């Protein structure tokens, strides 16, 4: 894979120690949450499937930490990371994944539809590219209401095949809407390499609409965060939409049941990403090198978050299912 | 209430203008909605009063503007999306069916989509297969959407105002052949709730349940039938979702015979749903099977002699009604 043009050191960080540790915690929370989700699946405690975000944590955290609580995001079927990064709590997340009453959507949405209006999360969306209109509409609404809110639309490179994305990018550019299209290019449209599905240059597609476009290494939390801050502030100032392509990798399968992946990608490729381009390992290294944390502190953080995850999962396992008559509630407002 | 005669088109225009004056959150987005006022001129003059920030000309991107409408509705505004021809809702289907319709439910009741999508239906305009369909059954099939099919200027105005104030996505179908139809509309403000049918003509021998322009077909048939000594009651459903089952069933019980008339395709259509409502709710009162009259199950043809055969007419309705009443 061609390395992104921008150098990884560009963002030479202005992060304070507190900020840096917060970013680390957020990424680790997503990692451990997702590992727990996989365990719940393997233990047959979770109905249905889940699409794990492991390997891509730096993008959700880097982008969402550049946002305010009242800014909007829309997410994808691989959305747990976005929801958590925007401020969702792990207990209500697990409860939703298990279809329980205290879940974010009272068990009606499940893994692929978590929405949390209190944190500006307009919902994960299981139609690939399906939320591009919603995010753009939220940005238009922010502009029309005279608020300075920004909307972020997360999607994978698979969504580059969907027409809706191009319709709304055209309008976002025409009307200078405060929306940022974040393309998480994890290289695989489900079980097919994006090279087989994507003609031309990804960035050129957004550039064709006159949209400010950046392509970066998505495994570098500092770079993602610094770039996002620039794009978010730009949008907030009324300078219009942006397109941010982040190169990344899905460490696990398309979903938890996708175990044998040898027919679409090599073990060697997976090992290379996991070994050399794991956003958590890279950032942990940097934290230690820059003396913001030592191994002991990182272990302590790991233990704290592991405990939080375990308690949240237990809470969800022990929570009640919704009442049966809720099935016909909330069809209409 | 004092009233004056205005057209269906003017009634729509007035409803939008009044709601836009009342509520700054309401805006219109669509193709050629501003200076052009749509190809049907339904929105003429609105841009003059409300400006291009609230009457927004969009690119030809039906899915995009519908999606933008959904997002704007979820975040505090009340968009009215204009889809020029009902046939083009095919292009909006993911945004309506998978997004707008489901967001409230999927979010456990937290998010809302107070959006109206106005579009058209109706054949016999010599517009051929891609500009003539009546696809309201498709949307009526989807839980989470409401669907209005007004038949008169009076109803159109009152229903559209309700639709704009509703917290759910409402698909508002207007028969493009009715835009110039005149009718009495009060000068005072009024609204008509969604989900309340209207008995447009009282009768005792047969019930004609109809939607949109088919209400006028039913009324004309009722005139013919009267000359033959048959008293037809005409029930205008006004909204297919919510459906006012009670009014329909009560009328069928009273007359013992029913014909359901709708301009959508007959197969798996609105007529099938309403006929089953009547069969279920009025079975012991019926003297004849419930008849259905929808559009022929063919792509709408261009040639006038062919097209005219595809939709119910006053003559065809009267014929079936006479048959039901044993007066062939």
pLDDT per residue as tens digits for the range A207-254: 999 999 999 999 999 999 999 999 999 999 999 999 999 999 999 999
Catalytic residue IDs of B: 131
> Vertex A169, ends A164 and A171: CA angle to 5°?
100
- Name the closest residue on chain B to residue A168, using Cα atoms: B64
Q: So what's the ipTM on this one?
A: 0.96
For residue B242, cis peptide bond before it (omega within 30 degrees of 0): yes
Provide the mean pLDDT of chain B: 97
Where a domain ends, among B123, B158, B186? B186
Give the Cα-Cα-Cα angle B302, B303, B304 (nearest 5 degrees): 110
The answer to whether position A1 is within a domain reads: no
Residues B93 and B126 in one domain: yes
A96, A111 contact by CB (below 8 A):
yes
Same domain for B287 and B141? no
Which residue among A106, A130, A170 places its CB closest to the CB of B108? A106
Closest-CA distance of chain A to residue B92, Å: 10
Q: What is the CATH number of the domain that holds B298?
A: 3.40.50.920
Query: Which residues in B lie closer than 8 A to residue A123 (C-beta atoms)?
Result: 103, 106-107, 111
What is the rounded average pLDDT of the residues A123-151? 97
pLDDT in tens, A179-212: 999 999 999 999 999 999 999 999 999 999 999 9
Q: Is residue A324 part of a domain?
A: no
Among chain A residues, the shortest Cα distance to B75 is held by: A138
Q: What is the pLDDT of residues B12-36, one digit of tens each?
A: 999 999 999 999 999 999 999 999 9
B103 near A CB under 8 A: yes
Q: How confident is the model at residue A14 (pLDDT cuts 50, 70, 90)?
A: confident
Share of chain B above pLDDT 70, in %: 99
B34-91: pLDDT as tens digits: 999 999 999 999 999 999 999 999 999 999 999 999 999 999 999 999 999 999 999 9
B26: closest CA of chain A, how far (Å): 11
Residue A271 confidence class, pLDDT cut points 50, 70, 90: very high
- Is B24 among the domain residues? yes
Give the nearest chain B residue to A128 (CA atoms).
Answer: B94
A163 interaction partners in chain B (CB closer than 8 Å)? 63
Q: Rounded to a whole number, what is the distance in Å from the CA of A144 to chain B's nearest CA?
A: 8
Domain's final residue, options B154, B186, B218: B186
Six token digits for residue A115: 């929405």
B301 touches chain A (CB under 8 A): no
Tell which phi-psi region holds residue A51, choosing left (phi > 0), alpha (psi between -120 and 50) or beta: beta
Tell me, yes or no, whether A7 lies in a domain. no
The verdict on B153 and B204 lying in the same domain is: no
Residue B223, in any domain of the structure: yes
Q: What is the mean pLDDT of residues A90-116?
A: 97
- Distance, in Å, from the CA atom of A166 to the CA atom of A179, rounded to the nearest integer, reads 13
Domain count, chain A: 1
Provide, rounded to the nearest whole percent, the portion of chain B with pLDDT above 90.
98
Instruction: From B156, B186, B216, give the residue that closes a domain.
Output: B186
pLDDT at residue B2, as a whole number:
82
Residue A280: DSSP 8-state: H
Query: In the structure, what pLDDT confidence band is assigned to residue A9 with cuts at 50, 70 and 90?
Result: very low
The verdict on residue A175 lying in a domain is yes
Domain count of the fold of chain B: 2
The region that residue A120 occupies, defined by phi over 0 for left and psi between -120 and 50 for alpha, beta otherwise, is: left
Determine which of B51, B66, B92, B108 to mutate to test the interface with A (most A C-beta atoms within 10 Å): B108
CATH number for the domain spanning A240: value is: 3.40.50.970
Kindly state whether residue A10 falls inside one of the protein's structural domains: no
Q: Residue B77: list chain A partners with CB under 8 A.
A: 141, 144-145
Residues of A in contact with B111 (CB under 8 A): 115, 117, 122-123
- Asked whether residue A261 is assigned to any structural domain, the reply reads yes
**A-chain residues within 8 Å CB-CB of B112?**
333
Cα B52 from Cα B61, distance rounded (Å): 18
3-state secondary structure B288-310: CCCEEEEECCCCCCCCHHHHCCC
**Are the CB atoms for B234 and B325 separated by under 8 Å?**
no
The alpha carbon of residue A147 is apart from the nearest alpha carbon of chain B, in Å, by 11
Residue A143: its pLDDT value, please?
Answer: 98
Q: What is the pLDDT of residue A8?
A: 43
Of A106, A127, A142, the CB nearest to B98: A127
Closest CB to B111 among A123, A144, A145: A123
How many Cβ atoms sit within 10 Å of the Cβ of residue B201? 17
DSSP assignment, residue A118? G
Q: Please indicate if any CB of chain A lies within 8 Å of the CB of B74.
A: yes
> Is pLDDT at B301 greater than 60 in this prediction?
yes
Q: Do B114 and A333 touch (CB under 8 A)?
A: yes
Same domain, B91 and B215: no
By the 8 A CB rule, do B8 and B181 touch?
A: yes
Q: Across residues B149-167, what is the average pLDDT?
A: 98
Q: What is the mean pLDDT of residues A18-44?
A: 97
Contact A140 B58 (CB under 8 A): no
Contact criterion met (CB < 8 Å) for A115 and B103: yes
pLDDT, residue A13, reads 58
Residue B191 in any domain: the answer is no
CB B44 within 8 A of CB B13: yes
Instruction: Please give the Cα distance from A318 to B51 (Å, whole number).
Output: 56
State the pLDDT confidence band at A2, using cuts at 50, 70 and 90. very low
Query: Is residue A3 very low, low, confident or very high in pLDDT (cuts 50, 70, 90)?
Result: very low
Q: Coil, helix or strand for B37?
A: coil
Q: Is residue A231 part of a domain?
A: yes
Rg, Å, chain B Cα set: 19
Q: Are residues B255 and B308 in the same domain?
A: yes
Nearest residue on chain A to B66, alpha-carbon basis: A133
Q: How far apart are CA A251 and CA A271, in angstroms?
A: 9
Nearest Cα of chain B lies from the Cα of A169 at a distance, in angstroms, of: 9
* Residue A275 located in a structural domain: yes
Half-sphere exposure of residue B263: CA atoms within 13 angstroms, side-chain side: 33
- Non-local CB neighbours of B288 within 8 Å, separated by 6+ positions: B256, B257, B324
CA neighbor of A113 nearest in space, from A166, A160, A157, A48: A48
The pLDDT of residue B3 is: 83
Please indicate, yes or no, whether residues B234 and B131 belong to a single structural domain of this protein: no
Same domain, B171 and B254: no
Range of the domain at B121: 3-186
Given this model, what pLDDT does residue B201 score?
A: 98
B31 domain residue, yes or no = yes
Nearest to B75 among A108, A141, A170 (CB): A141
Q: Write the burial class of residue A174 (CB in 10 Å: 0-12 exposed, 13-18 middle, 19+ buried).
A: middle
Q: What is the DSSP letter of A321?
A: P
**Which residue range forms the structural domain that includes residue A122?**
16-90+117-314
Same domain, B32 and B134: yes
Q: Give yes or no for residue B1 having a pLDDT over 90.
A: no
Lowest mean pLDDT among A312-316, B200-204, B215-219, B324-328: B324-328
Residues B144 and B202 in one domain: no
Mean pLDDT of the B178-199 span: 98
**Closest chain A residue to B60 measured between Cα atoms?**
A167
Residues B49, B172, single domain; the answer is yes
Give the pLDDT of residue B327: 86
Does residue B259 share a domain with residue B156?
no
Cβ distance B106 to A123 less than 8 Å, yes or no, reads yes
DSSP annotation of B58 reads -
Residue contact B67–A164, C-beta within 8 A:
yes
Spatial CB neighbours of B90, under 8 Å, sequence gap ≥ 6: B135
Say which of B71, B106, B108 has its CB closest to residue A141. Answer: B71
The answer to whether residues B166 and B81 belong to one domain is yes
User: Nearest residue of B to residue A153 by CA position?
Assistant: B71
């Amino acid at each position: 894979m061609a390395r992104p043009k921008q150098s990884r050191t560009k963002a030479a960080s202005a992060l304070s120690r507190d900020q840096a540790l917060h970013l680390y915690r957020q990424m680790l929370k997503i990692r451990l949450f997702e590992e727990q989700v996989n365990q719940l699946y393997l233990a047959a405690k979770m109905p249905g499937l889940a699409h794990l975000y492991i390997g891509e944590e730096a993008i959700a955290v880097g982008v969402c930490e550049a946002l305010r609580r009242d800014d909007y995001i829309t997410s994808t079927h691989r959305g747990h990371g976005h929801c958590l990064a925007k401020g969702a709590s792990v207990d209500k997340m697990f409860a939703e994944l298990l279809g329980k009453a205290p879940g974010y959507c009272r068990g009606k949405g499940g893994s692929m539809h978590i929405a949390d209006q209190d944190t500006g999360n307009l919902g994960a969306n299981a139609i690939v590219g399906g939320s591009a209109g919603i995010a753009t509409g939220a940005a238009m609404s922010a502009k029309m209401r005279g608020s300075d809110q920004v909307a972020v639309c997360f999607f994978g490179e698979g969504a580059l095949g969907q027409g809706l994305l191009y319709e709304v990018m055209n309008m976002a550019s025409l009307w200078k809407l405060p929306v940022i299209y974040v393309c998480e290019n994890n290289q695989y449209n489900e079980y097919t390499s994006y090279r087989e599905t994507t003609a031309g240059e990804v960035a050129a597609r957004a550039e064709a609409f006159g949209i400010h476009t950046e392509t970066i290494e998505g495994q570098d939390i500092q770079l993602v965060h610094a770039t996002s801050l620039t794009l978010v502030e730009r949008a907030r100032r009324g300078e219009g939409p942006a397109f941010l392509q982040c190169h990344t990798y899905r460490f696990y399968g398309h979903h938890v049941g996708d175990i044998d992946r040898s027919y679409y990608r090599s073990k060697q490729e997976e090992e290379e990403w996991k070994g050399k381009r794991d956003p958590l390992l890279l950032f942990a290294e940097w934290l230690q090198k820059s003396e913001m944390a030592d191994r002991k502190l990182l272990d302590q953080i790991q233990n704290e978050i592991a405990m939080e995850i375990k308690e949240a999962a237990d809470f969800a396992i022990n929570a009640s299912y919704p009442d049966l008559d809720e099935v016909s509630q909330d069809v209409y407002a | 209430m004092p009233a004056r005669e205005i057209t269906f088109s003017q009634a729509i225009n007035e409803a939008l203008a009044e709601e836009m004056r009342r509520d700054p959150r309401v805006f219109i987005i669509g193709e050629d909605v501003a200076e052009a006022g749509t190809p049907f001129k339904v929105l003429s003059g609105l841009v003059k009063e409300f400006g291009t920030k609230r009457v927004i000309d969009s690119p030809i991107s039906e899915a995009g503007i519908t999606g933008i409408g959904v997002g704007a509705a979820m975040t505090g505004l009340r968009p009215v999306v204009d889809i020029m021809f009902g046939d083009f809702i095919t292009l909006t289907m993911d945004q309506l069916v998978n997004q707008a319709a489901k967001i409230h439910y999927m979010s456990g009741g937290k998010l809302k989509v107070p959006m109206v999508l106005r579009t058209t239906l109706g054949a016999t305009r010599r517009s051929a297969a891609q500009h003539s369909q009546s696809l309201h059954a498709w949307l009526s099939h989807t839980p989470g959407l409401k669907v209005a099919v007004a038949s008169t200027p009076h109803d159109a105005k009152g229903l559209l105002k309700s639709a704009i104030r509703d917290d759910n996505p409402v698909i508002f179908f207007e028969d493009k052949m009715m835009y110039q139809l005149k009718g009495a509309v009060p000068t005072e403000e009024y609204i008509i709730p969604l989900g309340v049918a209207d008995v447009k003509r009282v009768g005792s021998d047969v019930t004609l349940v109809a939607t949109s322009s088919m209400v006028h077909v039913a009324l004309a048939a009722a005139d013919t039938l009267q000359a033959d000594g048959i008293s037809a009651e005409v029930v205008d459903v006004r909204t297919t979702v919510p459906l006012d089952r009670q009014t329909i069933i009560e009328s069928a019980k009273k007359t013992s015979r029913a014909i359901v008339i709708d301009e959508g395709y007959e197969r798996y259509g609105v007529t099938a749903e309403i006929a089953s409502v009547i069969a279920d709710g009025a079975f012991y009162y019926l003297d004849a099977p419930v008849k259905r009259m929808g559009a022929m199950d063919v792509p709408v043809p261009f040639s006038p002699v062919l097209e005219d055969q595809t939709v119910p007419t006053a003559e065809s309705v009267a014929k079936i009604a006479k048959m039901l009443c044993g007066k062939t």
